[in-house]
Structure 1
Amino acid sequence: MIALQVAGLIADFYLFLELTGDDDLDPDTAVKMTESLAYHLGEMDHAFLRELVDAFAVVAENYTGDEVRETVRNIASDLYLEETLAGDDPVKLAELEALRDARA
């Protein structure tokens, strides 16, 4: 339950950073805050981070609009959270890199 609530808070903040226009939010500030968010999430306990990563797909359904839902579903990927969870596992990291390459 807590992971869903935290995922919703993070999603709101992330959507603000990603979807607010340059006239309303300085792009450099948005990038700095996104990097800070990614750093702090990466420092979380990995068991909780795993729950959080899984929760983004669930909370995405609470948002309106395909683009917005997709943005929320992609938070873990955009912030490299799966790579954080993979740690020093070279096989898992290679799999994640291959998935990224396939999406590009």
Structure 2
Amino acid sequence: MIALPIVRIIADFLVFFNLADEDVLDADVAIKMMEGLGGDLQALDKQLLRELVDAFEAIASEYSGEAQEVVRNFAYSFYLEEALAADDPVRLAELEAIRDARD
């Protein structure tokens, strides 16, 4: 499994980019960084990506409040389950329905 300390480092950056005040971090810069991260994550080997998604779920309880939601919603925010299901139209339809119901 992916080393949890590495996942925690990534999670801390995600929390910072999502929750930092605009006077601390330029919103446009944060968005560009997050878009780049999302593309890089979606391009990962599927086995590695699955481990990463599972590891984020495992550490979400270590955070609280909004930070916990950022970590818990990691896969959702970056469309990672969709990336994992790219070859499975049935699973993609399920994920789309979940996303539609959630949004």
| TM-score of the alignment, normalized to the shorter chain, above 0.5 | yes
SS for the counterpart of 1:2 is coil
Instruction: Tell me the distance in 1 between the aligned counterparts of 2:52 and 2:3.
Output: 5
1:46 corresponds to 2:41 = no
1:42-73 superposed Cα distances (whole Å, 9 cap, x missing partner): 1111101101101111111222x222112101
Gaps of 5+ in 1: none
Q: How does 1:23-38 map to 2 (within 5 A)?
A: 23-38=23-38
Secondary structure in 1 matching 2:62: coil
Q: CA deviation at 1:3?
A: 4.2
TM-score, length-scaled by structure 1:
0.91
Partner of 2:57: 57
Aligned counterpart, 2:92: 93
* Separation of aligned partners in 2, 1:5 and 1:36: 22
Query: Cα RMSD between the aligned structures?
Result: 1.3
Gaps of 5+ in 2: none
2-side partners of 1:70 and 1:41: how far apart?
19
2:102 pairs with 1:103: yes
